[in-house]
Every structure is written in structure tokens, then in C-alpha cells.
Amino acid sequence: MKRGALELGVDVNDRIDAFATFLDLLVEASGRMSLTTIRDESGIVAKHFVDSLSCLRSEVLNSSMSVIDLGTGAGFPGLPLAIACPHLDVHLLDATRRKIEFVGSVIEALELPNAHPHVGRAETLGRQEGQRGRYDRVVTRAVSTLATLVELSLPLLRDGGVLIAQKGPSVVDELEAGRKAAKLVGGEVEQVIEFRLPITGETRSLVLVRKTRSTPAAYPRREGVPHRSPLF
């Protein structure tokens, strides 16, 4: 864990106990519910913990700001970011209650004052007063196509905010549609960062999409539509 994080430029020495507790809770809970298909501890560390921290390679999470993790599942990438970066105010959203209950149990066990679990859908949250235009950053990991992520994320961002979408090497196939969707919803694809994941050496990409103007009121569309019928 320490080595993988250091390769990303992140020092987690004083947070190792918290990551160890999270690991124990995840392994135990995965025996009762479907939280992750990765069951071995080394795999969880490399492909969940370190992979989540790779968001920090974007260098746009380096100050006190509000972050929302869309489709967090068992807490990725949001919980590792909250553990490693106490300056971030991290909100974790998922539509599956049992997953958010698990996330809440980890937050309670680790006493993380900067992490907040929410049950719900991005389509609904993006239309709520007090949520629309609230966040500085959106992080997503293995949720949907880039075009869909743009539609779900940009309404939640303040003007100038950034979506950090974690993707694999195939993201090149999604970029054209993602750029078109961003232009329609009020943003632009600013940067694509390619790198090798520490420990495993697997290829990863971070796509940064900046919100450049207010999102039109028509977006996001109603629940389920962005996934079933992407804008492009």
C-alpha cells in the first residue's frame, strides 16, 4: 500500500491503520454481500485502494474542496480519497442502499468527519436545489460511458468545477462522444492523462472535463435515460 501510494506521490504512512481497517471490513462484508469481485487482500489494495488514489495524479484535488463520488459502490474512489486527504469534503452517492449502508459503516468505524454517504441517483440529485452546482469536483470509476458521465456530473458541478473520470485504455473510443456531450451540457474535455497503475502495471486514464458555463435546465434527463440513451 505504502509503495503503491508513493509511486503516485501520496504519503499514507499515518493512514495505514485506517486502510487496514477498511480492508478488513471490506473482506468481511464481501462474504455476505456482493461488494467486489476481488477477494484477495493484495488485489484489493492494488486495484481498489491504490487505483482510487490515482485520481490524485490529476493535480486538481490538491486543496480544500467539496467532492462527490458518483456510483461509489463499496466506496471507490471516494473512501480512499477521504482517508488519504482529510482536506477534502467527500460525498459518496450510490443508488443501492446496502452498499451505502456498508460505506456508512466504514465511515463510522474510521471516524471520518470528511466523508458523507448518500443513497440516490445522480439524475435526481442534479435537479435538487442545494445540490445542483454545489460541488468543486466529481469523481467516477467504472460507472458508464464518458458521454453519460458528463451528463450526470456537470449539473452537480459549480462553474469551473472538474469531472475526474477514471477510465482504462479504451477511453479513446469514447472521447469524441464525450466531447460532444460536454459541449452540449456546458463543459469541455480539458485533458486525458494516461499512466501505468502502480503494482499491477495496468494502463489507466484520467479524463478531466471542466464545466465552463451553466448546464441547461434540460439536463440531466430523467432517471435511467442517460444510461439507456447517451447523448451521443
Residues flagged as binding site:
71, 76, 94-96, 122-123, 141
| pLDDT of residue 188 exceeding 80 | yes
Element (H, E) at 163: strand 157-167
The per-residue pLDDT for 63 is 82
Q: How far apart are CA 188 and CA 181, in angstroms?
A: 9
pLDDT in tens, 25-41: 999 998 888 898 888 99
In contact, 151 and 221? CB cutoff 8 Å:
yes
Residue 116 backbone dihedrals phi, psi, to 5 degrees: -140, 115
Kindly report the average pLDDT of the chain as a whole number.
96
Give residue-wise pLDDT tens across range 50-102: 999 999 999 999 889 999 999 999 999 999 999 999 999 999 999 999 999 99
> Residues near 166 by Cβ (< 8 Å), separated by ≥ 6?
51, 54, 55, 77, 139, 140, 141, 142, 204, 205, 206
Distance CA 175, CA 127 (A): 26
Query: In whole angstroms, what is the distance from residue 37 CA to residue 48 CA?
Result: 11
Q: Is the pLDDT of residue 199 over 90?
A: yes
CA angle 99, 87, 92 (to 5 degrees): 15
Going by the annotation, the residues of the binding site for S-adenosyl-L-methionine are 71, 76, 94-96, 122-123, 141
Distance CA 103, CA 97 (A): 10
Mean pLDDT computed over 2-9: 92
Q: Do residues 184 and 154 lie in contact, with contact meaning Cβ atoms separated by under 8 Å?
A: no
| pLDDT tier at 196, thresholds 50, 70, 90 | very high
Asked if residue 143 has pLDDT above 80, the reply is no
Tell me, what's the pLDDT at 37?
86
Alpha-carbon distance of 160 to 50, in angstroms, equals 27
Please tell me the predicted confidence (pLDDT) of residue 62.
81
* Residue 215: HSE in the Cβ half-sphere, 13 Å Cα cutoff: 27
In single-letter form, the type of residue at position 196 comes to R
The predicted structure's pLDDT at residue 31: 84
Cα separation, 6 vs 184, in Å, equals: 38
pLDDT score, position 175:
97
Can you tell me the distance from the alpha carbon of 228 to that of 208, in angstroms, rounded to the nearest whole number?
Answer: 23
The reply to whether CATH 3.40.630.30 applies to domain 2-228 is no
Residue 158 has pLDDT above 80, yes or no: yes
pLDDT at 142 over 80: no
- pLDDT tens string 118-140: 999 999 999 999 999 999 999 99
